[in-house]
Amino acid sequence: MTTSSLAITERVVRTISDVALENEFYFAELDGVCGDGDFGLSLANGCRKLMEEWDTLDRSNPGTFLKKVSMIITSRVGGVSGAIWGTGFMRAGFAAGDKVELTADDVIAMLRAAEEGMKKRGQSDLGDKTLLDAYIPAVDELERVLKEGGTTQEALNAAAVKAREQTEAIKPWIAKRGRAAYTGERSCDTYDAGSIAIAVMAEKIAESWGDITNP
C-alpha cells in the first residue's frame, strides 16, 4: 500500500520540528556569534507550540495542513525568522492547492514557491549569507537528480550533501542580511545558523526517508 502524500507531509514536518527541538541550543549558539542568539530558541518555541497543537491541525489535504503549520510557526517564532519560516510553509501550502496526492513535480513547485516567498519576505537572495544559500542549491540538486531519473532517496541524499557543502562555502562571506550584517567583516569565517539548520534538516530527512515513507 502506497503511503499517502498527507502522511509523508506530516512526517517531513515532524522531522523538521524534531531537528529544531533537538538542536535548539546549538543553533542559538551559532546565531550568537554574530547575531542576537535567539534563532534556535525562537524556532524551537514555534515547534513546541506546533507539537502541542499537532493533533488538532486540519488534515483535509497536504496544502491545508501546511498552511495551518505556517500559522502556528508565524505566531510563535519571533522576529524576521518567524515570518520567513512561516512564509515558506504558507507558500508551499498554497502551491499544493487542494490536491490530495502530490507528484514529484508538485513537490518541486512547492519548494520553489517557498523559496520565492522566503526571498521576498526576507528581502534576500543567493549570496547574502542566509539560509537561502543552502536551501536553493539543495532544491536545485533535488530537482536535477529527479529529472535525471534518480530515485527520491538518491535525490534527497544529493540535496543533503549540497546543503552541507554550502554551509562551508559561505562561511568566509560577509553577511548581508539579518543581525549578522551589522557586524560587517566580523561575520567572515562564521557559520550562518539558518544555513546550518537547513543542512541538518535535509540530512535528517534523507536519513529517515525509509521510515517516513514506510513507518
The reported pTM is: 0.92
Q: What is the overall mean pLDDT for the chain?
A: 89
Amino acid residing at 79: G
Q: What is the rounded average pLDDT of the residues 136-163?
A: 98
Closest to 137 measured CA to CA, from 129, 147, 148, 126: 126
Closest to 13 measured CA to CA, from 215, 212, 214: 212
Q: How confident is the model at residue 1 (pLDDT cuts 50, 70, 90)?
A: very low
Greatest alpha-carbon span in the chain: 54
Grid cell listed for 116: 520565492
**Helix, strand, coil % in the chain, rounded to nearest 5:** 75, 0, 25
Sequence spans of domains, the chain: 5-213
The CATH superfamily label for domain 5-213 reads DhaL domain (1.25.40.340)
**CA 194 – CA 83 distance, rounded (Å):** 13
Lowest-confidence pick of 35-49, 91-105, 162-176, 182-196: 182-196
187: left (phi over 0), alpha (psi -120 to 50) or beta: alpha
Asked if 205 and 13 touch (Cβ cutoff 8 Å), the reply is no
**CA 12 – CA 30 distance, rounded (Å):** 24
Write down the pLDDT at residue 188.
Answer: 55
